[in-house]
Amino acid sequence: MIEGLAALYIFLLAGFTGFEIISRVPVILHTPLMSGSNFVHGIVLVGAMIALGIAETTSQQVIGFIAVLLAAGNAVGGYVVTERMLEMFKTTGKQDKKGAHK
């Protein structure tokens, strides 16, 4: 279990990490990156599985089931769409140079 101050540390450091990742991104990758980060919060699937796992009553199970259903949609859909977008950024020889963009 992560509690109190330790969690605050994690929140802050993760927050700075997120800022750092985005701050130097060419516009060309904004949509794929939004899609990619959309995939990453698909980790909610793990929490949804636990929520359904600890469900005791039928109503909790129903809501837990919905949680897993939606979370799996987020994770899988986010991956498929991002992968399809990035598939198009195949490099062909001379395009390897990155100088054309900042």
Partner 1 sequence: MELIIQISYLLAAVLFILGLKQMSSPVTARRGIHWAGAGMVVATLVTFAAEEITGNEQAATNVMLIIIAIALGGGYAWYTGKRVAMTDMPQMIAMYNGMGGGAAAAIAAVELLKAQAAVQSGYASSVHDYLGADVAVLAILGAIIGTIAFSGSIIAWAKLDGRLNSSKLLPQQQLINLVLAVVLVILAINVYLSGSLNLIIAFFVLALVLGVFITVPVGGADMPVIISLFNALTGLAVGFEGYVLGNAAMIIAGTVVGSAGTLLTHLMAKAMNRSVSNVFFSGFGTGPAAAAAADVDGTQKEVQPQDAGIMMAYASQVIIIPGYGMAVAQAQHKIWELTQLLTEKGVKVKFAIHPVAGRMPGHMNVLLAEAGVPYDMIYDMEDINADFPNTTVTLVIGANDVVNPAAKKDPASPLYGMPTLNAEASQNVIVIKRGRGTGFSGVENSLFVADNTRMLFGDGQKVANELIQAVKEL
Stretch (H or E) spanning 37: helix 30-40
Residue with tokens 């109503």: 59
Is 56 among the residues that bind partner 1 (CB under 8 A)?
Answer: yes
Cα dihedral 36, 78, 34, 29, rounded to 10, equals 60
What is the nearest approach in angstroms of partner 1 to the Cβ of residue 16? Answer: 7
Cβ neighbour number for residue 30 with a 10 Å cutoff: 11
Is 5 among the residues that bind partner 1 (CB under 8 A)?
Answer: no
Restricting to residues 73-92, name those near partner 1 by CB under 8 A. 73-92
Tokens of 62: 């129903």
Contact string 9-48 vs partner 1 (x = CB under 8 A): -xx--xxxxxx-xxxxxxxxxxxxxxxxxxxxxxxxxxxx
What is the nearest approach in angstroms of partner 1 to the Cβ of residue 88? Answer: 4
What is the nearest approach in angstroms of partner 1 to the Cβ of residue 58? Answer: 10
